[in-house]
Chain A
Amino acid sequence: MTSAGPESAPPRTGSLQPVEFAQAAVMAALCAAIAIIAVVVPFAAGLSLLGTVPMGLLAYRYRLRVLIAATVAGGLVAFLIAGMGGFMTVLNCAYIGGLTGIVKRRGRGTPTVIAAALVAGALFGAATVVALAVLTRLRHLMFESVTANITGLAAILARIPGMKGAAERLKADFATALDHWPYLFFVIGVFSITFVSLVGWWALSRVMSRLLGVPDVHKLESSTDTGPIVPVPLQLNDVRFRYPTSDHDALGPVSLSVQPGEHLAVTGANGSGKTTLMLVLSGREPTSGTVERPGAVGLGKLGGTAVVMQHPESQVLGTRVADDVVWGLPPGTATNVSQLLSEVGLDGLAERDTGGLSGGELQRLAVAAALAREPALLIADEVTSMVDQEGREGLMSVLSGLTRRHRTSLVHITHYNDEADAADRTVNLTGNAADNTRMVETTEAPSATPAVDHPRGAPVLEINGVSHEYGSGTPWAKTALTDLDFAVHEGDGVLIHGLNGSGKSTLAWIMAGLTMPTAGSCLLDGTPVSDQVGAVAISFQAARLQLMRSHVALEIASSAGFSMYDQAKVTEALITVGLDPTLAARRIDQLSGGQMRRVVLAGLLARSPRVLILDEPLAGLDAASQRGLLRLLVELRRRKGLTVVVISHDFAGLEELCPRILHLQDGVLATAPTAAGELS
């Protein structure tokens, strides 16, 4: 559990641990984002009260050193974007968040918070008074400026008949207040800190009670074994692994060996324990059985074990490509960055921002970072499952020759059969999941069907000359879409296919009315779709972001717009998407990825949307969930005449759902090839 209690494992002294670094950085970024919105967006200053929550959570779960590092980082980020105001807001959030978080960790209640806040407020007030006492000139400027505004206001008031007395009072009272400014500022300090602390305390308590069910997805653990680093040859004998909270083995029994310099492929269906095997190979103690190595694992160390994981975005730690390659290497290690980059096919990109890379490029960068450690054992764990076809091919060509170019053993864990062909040897994990036996085959891109297909019904969504540019009028202007023209008809099934950066997500946002195109129009039944947000349903790739309520029933009721007491409707919505009605009482965070996506759909479909847009509906789902979801969508389209638009970089299995395909390339619709196939 992520937040069930204060973290006890990391040491309470010394430098920050990996988990602490990550938590500090992400919470700092969150707090900075809130502070920036509070400073920049008009009338949003109240939002800064919420900035105390991430900092409070940090203070609750980790030591003070983590909170301080987060304060420095968050303050600097906020300063870079919003200036001094942003910096001061983060500082305040950390001050108050730290206070509430520590009180929470000590298990105390509201009275303690009030007492602590009064003391903290007194300190803050005193500090303000001292600062203003020292900064004489700034104080005079501020006081005189405000006095001028007040005097002027009084002068205007005095010209209104009958208000002369009030004007005099206003002037005199303000002058008196300023004469006693040290008391004034002290009292304001105490009151504001106490108020903000109480709000922060309330928000922290409420949010924490909501976080109880959030699963901890953190998997790897730093190697603790000492001695010379020699991870291979590696021998696993009857290894089984069971997670602490589980009642069945996630892996095993499995026996296998990894010899120096060999390329070993590990295949297996979902649920066969492929990722768990990665954990054991990278140093986790198995529940039973033995793992024999000549020396230490040395995870991430020079000459040790390197791991490349599934998610392209979250593995990259540097903001610049070259920095990411060396990130985490011991200080003073010399690395030939350009040679490593050219080996993985990223020549000349050393100075690029990592934020602009595609999924495939990010994964190749992760391989380069792993190779910078000259590992004796490189584990690639389903590295291709979240990248597009082109990226997949690029990655495979990098991986396939690796053992010949480096003195490393490569263990490539994959659920694509064809990727195992490049290996010297293949091990198949049988696993315990009986229903998940089929492997995924990658699909060749079918040719685009002509844009003017035989329309089945009247046009619902019309895209007329749509172009979109981000940051128009600034030096950062970037064209995303150019002059698109097409229509989606009643009952249509359209696949908008494009690679990373082709503008397909922008198009989805425009079609849902969330973004206004810079040129052209997007009409739903003849009127601009941006005037009827909600009429076109959109399911985002990150389903979790679309689920806002704590429980399934609440969520469906809220997003569909009916009463949460209307059980019949909730049940009906759940049945529509093929979920068991008993799921209604389940907490959102206890759902699997596939279930989350279905709950989102249940909420959206209950409003009978004119069009349903699905952004990468299959990404991150295992093969069985993918098949199930596709079957459901095909069925819905056929039975209810639902109009479906799918945005994807993949084709696998989508032919039936989306007979019509539009290719988007660099923001332009690719012209339809003449050989259009036999699609109806």
Chain B
Amino acid sequence: MTAPARKQRRQVVLLRPVPGQTVIHDLWAGSKLLIVAGIGVLLTFYPGWVPIGAVGMLVVMAAALARIPRGVLPSVPRWLWFLLALGALTATFAGGSPVIALGSVDIGLGGLLNFLRITALSIVLLGLGAMVSWTTNVAEIAPAVATLGRPLRPLRVPVDDWAVTVSLALRAFPMLIDEFRVLYAARQLRPKDVDATRRARRSRWASEVIDLMAAAITVALRRADEMGDAITARGGAGQISAAPTRPKRRDWVTFAVVVAVCGAALALELTVLGTSGTRG
């Protein structure tokens, strides 16, 4: 979060694309959302090494095309490394095939490989989502939702209402985060409560949480009231974008590449290089 850290940690910047104007930046936001959704489905059904590797390759390729510098990655806290090492260690002790011989010791790598696979799966999925937020201007998200949802309209799904709400939520989000920063800072400035009797101390944590929540909600309600006025002043909802973008040729090319890579990976997974579902 952007809350001022006590230590100098690398701050996470929210909802702002990496500066630049590359092929990936220029892709239609809807394409990116569709591709991410499609790949997500593929990986939940077939979390084998080959699909994970293929998607990982796609992510790295896209990152290179979009000229994403290494600086975007948030610093990984030490406790996370520790947890990963602990998980890897216990998984190694589980043994299992395949077994390799290191000198006189036989080490079964089955458990470790499973652990690594689930870790790789999480990292690839995170990277996939991150690629969308690093290369997409938030202003393009809501119009894309409206376009993508168009097939649902005959089913009386209020897609346009959703798109408007998405655009407004994306507008309100940074303002709320700023207000939370102030709330958090104001809380830091306060001294310890002196009324903490034993009974009070027990309920103090709870009432503290309620106090903070009440302050946050009060601020949010005020924002919402003002925003409602602003919408009324515009005569209600209508257009949300001055220049709605549509899929262009580069989007179809991208789709073709993604489908080809994922299709090949799936075919390999189901035939010669299958890793998942060994017990199934």
- Also in contact, A23 and B224, with CB within 8 A (given A69-B161, A156-B93, A369-B234): yes
> Which B residues are CB-close (under 8 A) to A148?
90-91, 94, 96, 110-112, 114-115
Q: Contact: B141 with A149, CB < 8 Å?
A: no
> Which one, B57-65, B179-187, B246-254, is touching chain A?
B179-187
Which 6 residue pairs across A and B have the least CB separation, nearest first? A300-B235, A148-B111, A25-B168, A328-B234, A561-B191, A152-B93
Q: Interface of A with B (CB < 8 Å)?
A: 2-3, 15-19, 21-30, 32-33, 36-37, 40-42, 50, 53-54, 57, 65, 68-70, 72-74, 76-77, 79-84, 135-138, 140-142, 144-145, 147-153, 155-156, 203, 206-207, 210-211, 214, 216-222, 282, 298-301, 304, 306-309, 311, 313-320, 322-323, 325-331, 333, 335, 337, 350, 353-355, 369-370, 373, 470-476, 509, 512, 514-516, 518, 530, 533-534, 537-538, 540, 542, 544-550, 557-565, 589, 607
Q: Which residue of B has the minimal Cβ distance to A607?
A: B191
Of A329, A472, A546, the residue contacting B186 (CB under 8 A) is A546
CB 8 Å contact bits of B216-230 with A (1 = contact, 0 = none):
111111111111111
Q: Contact: B235 with A299, CB < 8 Å?
A: yes
Complex Cα–Cα for A514 and B13 (A): 19
Q: Contact: A565 with B171, CB < 8 Å?
A: no
Complex Cα–Cα for A565 and B118 (A): 56
Of B7, B44, B138, the residue contacting A135 (CB under 8 A) is B44
Q: Contact: A534 with B133, CB < 8 Å?
A: no
Q: Contact: A534 with B169, CB < 8 Å?
A: no
Complex Cα–Cα for A307 and B233 (A): 6
- Can you show 8 pairs from A to B with CB atoms below 8 A apart? A73-B169, A76-B141, A81-B15, A218-B229, A222-B232, A300-B234, A320-B242, A353-B16
- Also in contact, A550 and B4, with CB within 8 A (given A140-B278, A148-B96, A474-B13): no
Of A80, A509, A538, A540, the residue contacting B141 (CB under 8 A) is A80
Q: Using A214-B221, A300-B232 as known contacts, list a sample of 17 further A-B pairs with CB atoms less than 8 Å apart, ordered by residue number in A.
A: A23-B228, A25-B171, A30-B216, A53-B217, A84-B125, A137-B45, A148-B90, A149-B91, A151-B94, A156-B93, A206-B210, A218-B228, A309-B230, A318-B167, A322-B242, A328-B239, A476-B16
Least CB distance, B246 to chain A, in whole angstroms: 15
Complex Cα–Cα for A17 and B189 (A): 40
Complex Cα–Cα for A41 and B2 (A): 11
Q: Interface of B with A (CB < 8 Å)?
A: 1, 4-8, 10-16, 18-19, 40, 44-48, 69, 71-72, 77, 79-80, 87, 89-96, 110-112, 114-115, 117-118, 121, 125-126, 129-130, 132-133, 136-139, 141, 145, 158, 160-162, 164-177, 179-180, 182-183, 185-195, 209-243, 276-280
- Also in contact, A140 and B276, with CB within 8 A (given A28-B169, A327-B234): yes
Complex Cα–Cα for A24 and B176 (A): 14
> Which A residues are CB-close (under 8 A) to B11?
470-472, 474
Q: Contact: A53 with B211, CB < 8 Å?
A: no
Of B44, B161, B213, B242, the residue contacting A323 (CB under 8 A) is B242
Complex Cα–Cα for A354 and B137 (A): 12
Q: Which residue of B has the minimal Cβ distance to A18?
A: B231
Number of A-B contacts (CB under 8 A): 433
> Which B residues are CB-close (under 8 A) to A509?
4, 185
Of A145, A544, A563, the residue contacting B194 (CB under 8 A) is A563
> Which A residues are CB-close (under 8 A) to B228?
18-19, 21-23, 218, 220
- Also in contact, A207 and B137, with CB within 8 A (given A21-B231, A151-B93): no
Q: Contact: B189 with A140, CB < 8 Å?
A: no
Of B4, B110, B173, the residue contacting A77 (CB under 8 A) is B173
> Which A residues are CB-close (under 8 A) to B114?
141, 144-145, 148
Of B47, B192, B226, the residue contacting A314 (CB under 8 A) is B226
Q: Contact: B165 with A80, CB < 8 Å?
A: no
> Which A residues are CB-close (under 8 A) to B72?
474-475
Q: Contact: A70 with B47, CB < 8 Å?
A: no
Q: Which residue of A has the minimal Cβ distance to B138?
A: A319
Complex Cα–Cα for A530 and B188 (A): 11
Q: Contact: A298 with B190, CB < 8 Å?
A: no
Q: Contact: A16 with B237, CB < 8 Å?
A: yes
- Also in contact, A136 and B94, with CB within 8 A (given A26-B223, A330-B238): no
Complex Cα–Cα for A57 and B45 (A): 36
Of B1, B10, B213, B241, the residue contacting A472 (CB under 8 A) is B10
Q: Contact: A26 with B220, CB < 8 Å?
A: yes
- Also in contact, A33 and B176, with CB within 8 A (given A21-B231, A145-B114, A323-B242): yes
Q: Contact: A315 with B233, CB < 8 Å?
A: yes
- Also in contact, A564 and B195, with CB within 8 A (given A37-B1, A537-B189): yes
- Of the candidates A26, A141, A211, A560, the one having the most CB atoms from chain B within 10 angstroms of its own CB is A26
Q: Contact: A589 with B45, CB < 8 Å?
A: no
- Also in contact, A335 and B242, with CB within 8 A (given A323-B139, A558-B193): yes
Complex Cα–Cα for A337 and B242 (A): 8
Q: Contact: B129 with A26, CB < 8 Å?
A: no
Complex Cα–Cα for A342 and B186 (A): 41
> Which B residues are CB-close (under 8 A) to A30?
176, 216-217, 220
Least CB distance, B113 to chain A, in whole angstroms: 9
Q: Contact: A137 with B183, CB < 8 Å?
A: no
Of B195, B210, B243, the residue contacting A565 (CB under 8 A) is B195
- Also in contact, A72 and B230, with CB within 8 A (given A50-B209, A140-B277, A558-B193): no
- Also in contact, A331 and B238, with CB within 8 A (given A50-B213, A138-B47, A540-B186): yes
Complex Cα–Cα for A370 and B234 (A): 8
> Which A residues are CB-close (under 8 A) to B241?
323, 326
> Which B residues are CB-close (under 8 A) to A533?
188-189
Q: Contact: B188 with A514, CB < 8 Å?
A: yes
Q: Which residue of A has the minimal Cβ distance to B242?
A: A322
Complex Cα–Cα for A80 and B121 (A): 18
Q: Contact: B239 with A561, CB < 8 Å?
A: no
Least CB distance, A96 to chain B, in whole angstroms: 15
> Which A residues are CB-close (under 8 A) to B278?
140
Complex Cα–Cα for A377 and B87 (A): 68
Q: Contact: B165 with A53, CB < 8 Å?
A: no
Q: Contact: A145 with B172, CB < 8 Å?
A: no
Complex Cα–Cα for A534 and B192 (A): 11
Q: Contact: A314 with B90, CB < 8 Å?
A: no
Q: Contact: B232 with A544, CB < 8 Å?
A: no
> Which B residues are CB-close (under 8 A) to A516?
4-8
Complex Cα–Cα for A140 and B280 (A): 8
Q: Which residue of B has the minimal Cβ distance to A328?
A: B234
> Which A residues are CB-close (under 8 A) to B229?
18, 218-220, 309, 314
Q: Contact: A83 with B126, CB < 8 Å?
A: yes
Q: Contact: A558 with B138, CB < 8 Å?
A: no
- Also in contact, A515 and B4, with CB within 8 A (given A16-B164, A145-B91, A548-B186): yes
Q: Contact: B129 with A83, CB < 8 Å?
A: yes
Complex Cα–Cα for A26 and B10 (A): 28
Least CB distance, A229 to chain B, in whole angstroms: 10
Q: Which residue of B has the minimal Cβ distance to A473?
A: B71
> Which B residues are CB-close (under 8 A) to A151?
93-95, 111
Least CB distance, B268 to chain A, in whole angstroms: 14
Q: Contact: A217 with B218, CB < 8 Å?
A: no
Q: Contact: B235 with A216, CB < 8 Å?
A: no
Q: Which residue of B has the minimal Cβ distance to A609?
A: B189
Least CB distance, A78 to chain B, in whole angstroms: 10
Of A41, A81, A330, A561, the residue contacting B192 (CB under 8 A) is A561
- Also in contact, A21 and B237, with CB within 8 A (given A70-B165, A137-B46, A319-B139): yes
Q: Contact: A320 with B137, CB < 8 Å?
A: yes
Q: Contact: B239 with A329, CB < 8 Å?
A: yes
Complex Cα–Cα for A309 and B231 (A): 12
> Which A residues are CB-close (under 8 A) to B186?
540, 545-546, 548
